[in-house]
Structures are given as C-alpha cells and as structure tokens.
A and B are shown apart, each in its own frame.
Chain A
Amino acid sequence: MKRINHLAIKSLKYRKFTITLSIISISLSVILLLGVERIRNQVHESFASTISGTDLIVGARTGSVSLLLSTVFHIGYANQNVSYESYEAISKNPKVAWSIPLSLGDSHKSFPVLGTTDEYFEHFKYGRKQNLEAAAGHLCVHGMGAVIGADVAKNLGYSVGDELIVTHGMGDESFVKHDHDPFTIEAVLKPTGTPVDQTVHVSINSMGAIHAEFYNEEDSLAYDPFAEALAAHQNEHDHHHHAHCNHGHSAEAGGTPSTLTGFMLGLHKRNEVLLMQRHLNTYEDEPLSAIMPVVTLLELWNVVKPIQKTLIIISFLVLIVAFVGMLTTIMTSLNERRREMAILRSVGAKPRDIFQLIIIESFSVTTIGIIVGIIILHLLLLVAKPIISSQLGILINIFDFNMMELSFVSIILLGGLLIGFWPAYLSYKHSLADGLTIKV
C-alpha cells in the first residue's frame, strides 16, 4: 500500500505538466461550481431575510414584484404614489397594529434616501425578526436627523454628527440639490446584509418639508396645501414613542408629504392578512396594491431561479469537461505505461497494485484539484467580499460550507474516483494479459 502510494506520487511528479493541467481544470470547475453555489446560497439567504415581520406592503396599483422592488429594495421608481389620506385611513383600520410610511425617490451620492418615521426602527424587521440596531448614535429620524446604513457610512466615511445633503432623484449628477437643508447623521446602523445598509433614512416630514420649500421657492410644481395641515397631525402622532430617541421634537420640520411611495403594515392577527390584502386590493378611494412581502420575495426569487439553475448546470458541464480531460490524460498515458506495469509486475507487484496505482492518480488529481479550487475560491471570496457586500449588499460567509456545497464536493470526489476506475481496470487487464513482456 505504502509503496504504491510512493510510486504513484513519483509518477505524478514525473508527469507534472499534464497532471498540473488536469488539476487546474478540476480546480476551475470546483471554483465555478462552489462559487456559483455559494453566491446563490448567500443571495438567497440575504434575499429571504430582507424583510420579516411586516405583514403587508401597500403601494399604488402596480405589479407585486415592482412594488416590492421599489419599497424594499429601493430599485426602480414607483411612478404612482399613494395619497396620504388613504394611508391615514388605512392606518386607523382596527385590524392594523402599526404602519410605517415610506417615501422614496431622493438620493444622497447615489444611495437611496428613504423618508419614513421613527416607527420604522421599531417595527421594521429583517432576517430572523431582528430589529435594526445602531452601531453608533440613536435611531432618530425626526427633525433633520438621518440614520445611515452601514455601507453608506463605510463608503462615504460618514459618522454620527456629519451632515449630508439630499438630492432629488437618483444618481450623483442630479443637479437639483436641496442644498440649504442638510441633514445631520444621528446614527449609523449595524450591517444587515439587506438594502437597509445602502439606505439613508430621514424623516418623511422633513423630506416633505424640503420638497415643499423647494417647489415653493422655484415656484414650479404645485405645492400641496394639504401638506401643512397634515403635518400638524403627524407631529401629534409622533409624540408618544421612542424612549431611546432623546431628541426633542422641537426641531421637527413642518412638512408632511402629500403622497407616499407606499407603506408597511403590521396586523394584530396574522390570520387576517389575506382578508386585509383583499380589502386593500379592492380599496375604493384609490387603486392600491397590497403584497405579502414573504410571498412576493419568493415570487421574485423564482424569477431568478432558472438563471441559477442554468449556472449550476453550466458549472457541472465544466466539471464534466474537466473530468474528460483528466480521463484523456490518464488514458493516453496507459499505453506507454504498459512497459512500466510489466516491470512492476516482475519485481513483485500484484495486479491490484497496478489497479491501485492508476486509481490513486485520478483520485489525487481530483482531490488536489478540489483543495486547490477551494483555496483559490476562498482567496477570491476574501478579495471579493468587501466589493460584493458594498455593491450588492450581500455578506458572503467565507469558511462556511453548506450541505449543498459539501455534497458537490463529494460528487466531484466520487466522480473522480469512478472515472479513475475505467483506466485502472484497463491497466489491470493489460497487466494480466501482457504478463512480463509486452508486444507493442
């Protein structure tokens, strides 16, 4: 056994060029396969945990996926808004436990700005029903306070006390800046791996106010007379919460938006969700869409699922190509090795030693290929982790193998072993047929 291992190692070294090529091609397919799976898994995980504990998200009549994208992922524009009256009315529905207004469309240095209330930090949950937590500061957005996501803070180098200016619309180059109304950062959130990390949270009222002010000054678009009236009400509403929010409400700007992008609802009884959803989808005063975020997340996930499946299938095809490469390498060497096998037989090697010699080769190539692949993949992930988390908001676990990956690794290992059986068996048969002399 030991002597055969010894021989196998030496023979691998002797043919290191072709063997290295085989190892590289196996490593590449391992990198591809595990990389795709790792990313798929992490995307899925962070995706599924984007929002939890919210029963319904309501917006203007639109597709469920696009409503989810705009309100939760802050992707795309909801070109229809919900009127504040509807929001007010629905919030007062006895079935509703809590409601959080959402207003989107502004940005700060390409990070989306979410106008909301302090209640957001109380009720918005992600992952396993986790609340947002402050890494520094207090979670207050009333007045001109802003709470920024972890990535915003990291990328822009912001910390509590810094000021930021909100731009109308998305993108850096928007020329419409609400210049003279800087927000002050009250808190930086801990990373969540959700779109929250890339979001700047401000008070929906202040947002309304600056818009109002802005549009007033420019004398351009209509200034909603409702806003002021509603603002008073909103301020009242704001009074009874957030012990941890020790700012006075004196700084609260007066504006209240006339319209919202949407709002989140929590119900008293979970079993009333469907009823409530139907009620909202057939809301009389205004065409609305209400979605259950969990259901729509799944829907959205199913949209990208075929892509992932395709990627996995391609990765497996690459693996097969790698195996065929390895098989070819071993097979072509078999004929020229018949002499070597005869010599080994003459010094006492058993036919099964010959079999073993070949099996060890394919197995080592596969194993080394897997190890090298895993190492390279992790190096790549280490390098890519900050980029991926800042670009996509996905936190990749680095040394954490899931069952799927482990089963891929065992499939590859098993595949390598099985494929090795063929040339090993051929070699075994040759050596029995050839005896000590070969006639080639």
Chain B
Amino acid sequence: MKKEACIQISDLQFQWPDQKETLLNIPELIINQQEHLYIQGDSGSGKSTLLNLLGGIIEPQQGDITILGQSLRQLSSSQRDHFRAAHIGYVFQQFNLVPYLSILDNVTLPCDFSSERYKRAGASSNSIKKEAMRLLSHLGLEDEALLQKPVTQLSVGQQQRVAAARAFIGSPEIIIADEPTSSLDANAQESFIKLLFDEVKSKNTTIVFVSHDERFIPLFEHSIQLTSLQANKATTLMEGGQL
C-alpha cells in the first residue's frame, strides 16, 4: 500500500546568516502520512534548524519544502505562520508553556491562532475547553486541583504533557517534537513517547521526532541520521528502527 507523502523536501540548502558553510544540504526527504520518523543527529548538526524550516519559520536559501501538498515557497511569511498554526503541533525540549496562561489556556492556545484547529477541537468534543480536558486526562492530568495550578508550579513531566496536549488539540496533521523528553528522567522519557503514539493511534497523524539520543530509535517505525540526509548521500529510510 502506497501512502501519501506528507512532507517533501527537495534540494534544500540552508545556512544561518552568521554561518560560513551550508548547515543543511538535503537533496531529498520524503515523509509519508502517518509515519513516525525519528531523526537522530549530534548536537549542533542542525536538527532544530530543520524543524524551523518545516514550520516555515525560516526560509531555505535553496530548494523547497512541500507539506500536505502545499509548497511553502509559494506562501508569504504570514501565510506560512497561518499554515503552521493549522497543520503542525510542536513540542519542545523544555519550558513549553506560556507562564501567564493557565493550563487550559496553554492547551487551547493553537485554537486562538487557527480557526481550523478551533473548529476541529470543537467538533471532537463539544467545546475546545472540553477537548483540552479530554486530552489532558488522556495524558494523565485529570486532577481538578492540578488544573487550577499556575503552569510554573507543574513538574517538568507534567509540563511536557500539557505541551503534548497543546500539540494535539485540533488534530493537526503533523506533530513535531524537538527532544521533548530530554529534560525527563529515563522512565518518564519512554512513557512520554508511548503517550504520543497512543494519542495519534487512531488518527492520520505524522510524527517527526528529533533527538541526539539513540536510545529511542527502537520505539519508532522509521529512523534516520541527519548526516545521512546531507549532501549527495542516498536518502533511504531505514525500516524497523535500524540505522
């Protein structure tokens, strides 16, 4: 069965303004829908930069990225912002939450920026608030007293689960996770990844997960080395979590 491509990168070249050499030079990368891809790379190899490119935050000097059939190059920066809001959920390494918003407000934040996600979240439960509660309780945060807490008082693990709920709300097609587990302890790391998988099980969601840590590779159906994508190297995805 041939799955549809979700993310397509072609002839991409990028470097930051203060860099002398090209940081990313990716001739081709195709990530299919519903794929859970693990991208491994050393610190400083450009993983986060790649995720910035996928979200349309920054533009490549060369090449193009097509997401869900939409070429990012053809969008204005403001359209890209909108596109990102509608189709991508992000989870970062740490400090994922806006300190002055409540837990619920943090979760529903993407709905403020995207009417698509607002509608989908509302359709899934009756209201976006209910949907946020549902997601939070799925992720193990159902305690009323806990939900009243300021986000700054949550444990790191709890914060990451709130961030995951925010990424999931309104069912974006793509979840991008940038080392979301590296501030968690070993047990929490694995269960957090399992939670992610669990949540998207019944959906058509694509997950791109980057980390320098090789230990999680076995948990993913596909994994790739960032260095292997670079330059003119062949870009074949390895099946079964083997490098």
A contact set with B: CB distance below 8 Å:
3, 6-7, 10-11, 13-15, 339-340, 342-351, 435-437
With A343-B95, A351-B77 known, 8 other A-B pairs at CB within 8 A are: A10-B100, A342-B92, A343-B98, A345-B57, A346-B84, A346-B92, A435-B57, A436-B52
Quick check: B96 and A348 within 8 Å, CB to CB? no
Per the bound structure, the CA–CA distance linking A340 and B97 in Å amounts to: 7
Of B58, B99, B101, the contact of A435 (CB 8 Å cutoff):
B58
Quick check: B51 and A436 within 8 Å, CB to CB? yes
Residues of the A chain whose Cβ atoms lie less than 8 Å from the Cβ of B85 = 347-348
7 residue pairs A–B, Cβ–Cβ below 8 Å: A14-B100, A343-B92, A345-B57, A345-B81, A347-B90, A347-B110, A436-B48
- B129-162, CB < 8 A from A: none
Quick check: A11 and B109 within 8 Å, CB to CB? no
Of A6, A13, A437, the contact of B92 (CB 8 Å cutoff):
A437
The answer to whether residues A3 and B113 also contact, given A339-B95, A350-B81, A436-B48 and a CB cut-off of 8 A, is: yes
Quick check: A350 and B78 within 8 Å, CB to CB? yes
Per the bound structure, the CA–CA distance linking A342 and B99 in Å amounts to: 13
Quick check: A349 and B98 within 8 Å, CB to CB? no
Per the bound structure, the CA–CA distance linking A226 and B159 in Å amounts to: 102
Per the bound structure, the CA–CA distance linking A345 and B58 in Å amounts to: 11
Taking the closest CB of chain A, its distance from the CB of B145, in whole angstroms, is 21
Of B92, B95, B112, the contact of A436 (CB 8 Å cutoff):
B92
Residues of the A chain whose Cβ atoms lie less than 8 Å from the Cβ of B90 = 346-347, 436
Q: Taking the complex as formed, is B166 at the interface, i.e. its CB lies under 8 A from any CB of chain A? A: yes
Per the bound structure, the CA–CA distance linking A7 and B113 in Å amounts to: 12
Taking the closest CB of chain B, its distance from the CB of A384, in whole angstroms, is 39
The answer to whether residues A348 and B52 also contact, given A339-B95, A343-B97 and a CB cut-off of 8 A, is: no
Of A11, A345, A437, the contact of B178 (CB 8 Å cutoff):
A437
Taking the closest CB of chain B, its distance from the CB of A330, in whole angstroms, is 15
Per the bound structure, the CA–CA distance linking A11 and B96 in Å amounts to: 16
Quick check: B99 and A436 within 8 Å, CB to CB? no
- B94 to chain A: closest residue by CB: A339
Give 1 or 0 for each of B101-120: 1 = CB within 8 Å of chain A CB. 10001000110111000000
- A6 to chain B: closest residue by CB: B112
Of B58, B95, B110, the contact of A348 (CB 8 Å cutoff):
B110
Most buried by A among B52, B82, B112: B112
Quick check: B112 and A3 within 8 Å, CB to CB? yes
- B151-201, CB < 8 A from A: 166, 178
Residues of the A chain whose Cβ atoms lie less than 8 Å from the Cβ of B110 = 347-348
The answer to whether residues A348 and B100 also contact, given A3-B113, A436-B52, A436-B90 and a CB cut-off of 8 A, is: no
Q: Taking the complex as formed, is B55 at the interface, i.e. its CB lies under 8 A from any CB of chain A? A: yes
Taking the closest CB of chain A, its distance from the CB of B85, in whole angstroms, is 2
Of A14, A346, A348, A437, the contact of B99 (CB 8 Å cutoff):
A14
Per the bound structure, the CA–CA distance linking A395 and B57 in Å amounts to: 62
Most buried by B among A6, A7, A10, A347: A347
Per the bound structure, the CA–CA distance linking A93 and B135 in Å amounts to: 102
Quick check: A349 and B81 within 8 Å, CB to CB? yes
Taking the closest CB of chain A, its distance from the CB of B241, in whole angstroms, is 26
Per the bound structure, the CA–CA distance linking A271 and B32 in Å amounts to: 99
Residues of the A chain whose Cβ atoms lie less than 8 Å from the Cβ of B109 = 343-344, 347
Quick check: B98 and A340 within 8 Å, CB to CB? yes
Residues of the A chain whose Cβ atoms lie less than 8 Å from the Cβ of B48 = 435-437
Taking the closest CB of chain B, its distance from the CB of A428, in whole angstroms, is 13
Residues of the A chain whose Cβ atoms lie less than 8 Å from the Cβ of B55 = 346, 436
